[in-house]
Amino acid sequence: MEKKYGVHKDTHVGLPHLLRQHGESHMATAFERLDQLRAGRWYGGKGDGQVVEECLKLIAQIEQWTT
């Protein structure tokens, strides 16, 4: 957000809302899904290869968006 829109958030809380305000609903969805996986699978102790693969795909998508 800082690179693209000059807006900085110190935390990820509220980032999807901010992304949507700037017309980036696709990225907002990616961040929401990543957060769901983090909370439900990582902290819930239910991680597996498929979850890791999905997380890596989401991270790659986000990294590509930033460039």
Amino acid found at 18: L
Q: Which is nearest to 16 in space by CA: 31, 4, 3? A: 31
> What pLDDT is stored for residue 45 in this prediction?
56
Phi, psi of 39 (to 5 degrees): -70, -45
Give the separation between CA 25 and CA 18, rounded to whole angstroms.
9
Q: Out of 7-11, 23-27, 39-43, 48-52, give the one with best mean pLDDT.
A: 23-27
Q: What is the rounded CA–CA span in Å between residue 26 and residue 41? A: 22
Q: How many CB atoms are located within 10 Å of the residue 15 CB?
A: 17
Is-contact 25 19, C-beta < 8 A? yes
Please tell me the pTM assigned to this model.
Answer: 0.77
